């Protein structure tokens, strides 16, 4: 029974991931989310058997059935990431409300992560509702600790705004300033420090790797939101334990 439930949750996540791919593509193309899916290359309307998450990609060998053009690896990766995230959240939340909330946050993170990699931009239409919903979630669930989340959001935003102003937008983009409001509201104080610290380290490693492998330089534009999101995910799972360990180490 446990395996069957896990499979259903994972399959549901795959289907949501397929929809997230539509969101990511149509946001950039400025299209509505309604209507049938089409091949981005030839415009051919896709049948249902072309849209089975992951499976269709594997059967078709990563090519469109009709024009045989390459299909981006993004599609199965987003679907798999969503399926795995939904399954992990299912087993690590203690209420239906928390599970649905963190499923929503996972979807938000996946869209922002992928969109920023491709377009160096964090879409406000995805970010702002997440900020509002996260604030409301903590007001209703953790209202006695809400000041902690407010301090984390305000402190992180102020720090990033200072970096943005000092560098005139060369170190980080203004989208990152807005993103850390959401991250602060998710993590609270002092766990936000863990999330940002790990995010900066991931960003440094990624930037160094790109300088070596892809011949980037210090002036090259690199997306920072994926690093911050990875750091936040680590902090959501292990942040309180890491803070406790560090405080014990200092004492």
Indicate the domain borders of the chain.
1-92, 97-251
Locate all alpha helices (DSSP H) within the chain, ordered by sequence.
Answer: 2-29, 55-59, 74-91, 96-119, 124-141, 146-167, 174-187, 191-213, 225-250
Q: Which of 124, 102, 147, 75 is nearest to 225 (CA)?
A: 124
Show Cβ contacts of residue 203 under 8 Å, excluding neighbours closer than 6 positions.
Answer: 222, 224, 227, 228
Mean pLDDT in residue range 92-112: 96
pLDDT greater at residue 1 or residue 193: 193
Is the per-residue pLDDT at 95 higher than 70?
yes
pLDDT of 19 reads 93
Q: CA 90, CA 96: separation in Å to the nearest integer?
A: 9
Label residue 71 by pLDDT band (50, 70, 90). confident
pLDDT of 219 reads 59
Label residue 39 by pLDDT band (50, 70, 90). low
Q: CA 210, CA 76: separation in Å to the nearest integer?
A: 24
Of the ranges 69-78, 142-151, 173-182, the best mean pLDDT one: 173-182
Q: What is the DSSP string of 41-93?
A: TT-PBPPGGG-STTHHHHHTTTB-TTT-PBPPTHHHHHHHHHHHHHHHHHHT-
Average pLDDT, the chain: 88
Mean pLDDT in residue range 98-110: 97
Give me the residue label for tokens 């969109």.
Answer: 115
pTM: 0.91
Label residue 33 by pLDDT band (50, 70, 90). low
Contact 118, 93 (CB under 8 A): no
Label residue 77 by pLDDT band (50, 70, 90). very high
Label residue 246 by pLDDT band (50, 70, 90). confident
Is the per-residue pLDDT at 243 higher than 60?
yes
Mean pLDDT in residue range 93-107: 95
Query: SS3 for 38?
Result: strand
């Amino acid at each position: 029974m446990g395996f069957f439930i896990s499979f259903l949750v994972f399959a549901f996540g795959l289907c949501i991931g397929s929809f997230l791919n539509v969101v990511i593509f149509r946001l950039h193309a400025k299209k509505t989310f309604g209507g049938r899916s089409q091949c981005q290359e030839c415009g051919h309307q896709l049948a249902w058997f072309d849209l089975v998450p992951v499976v269709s990609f594997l059967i078709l060998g990563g090519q469109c059935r009709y024009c045989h053009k390459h299909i981006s690896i993004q599609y199965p990766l987003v679907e798999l990431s969503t399926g795995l995230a939904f399954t992990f959240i299912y087993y690590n939340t203690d209420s239906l409300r928390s599970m649905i909330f963190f499923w929503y946050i996972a979807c938000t993170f996946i869209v922002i992560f992928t969109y920023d990699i491709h377009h160096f931009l964090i879409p406000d239409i995805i970010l702002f509702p997440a900020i509002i919903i996260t604030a409301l979630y903590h007001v209703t669930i953790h209202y006695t600790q809400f000041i902690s989340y407010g301090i984390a959001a305000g402190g992180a935003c102020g720090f990033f705004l200072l970096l943005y102003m000092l560098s005139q937008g060369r170190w980080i983009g203004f989208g990152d300033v807005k993103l850390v409001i959401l991250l602060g509201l998710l993590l609270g104080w002092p766990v936000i420090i863990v999330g940002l610290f790990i995010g900066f380290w991931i960003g440094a490693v990624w930037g160094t790797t790109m300088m070596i492998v892809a011949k980037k330089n210090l002036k090259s534009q690199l997306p920072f939101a994926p690093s911050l999101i990875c750091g936040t995910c680590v902090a959501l799972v292990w942040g309180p334990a890491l803070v406790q360990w560090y405080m014990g180490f200092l004492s």
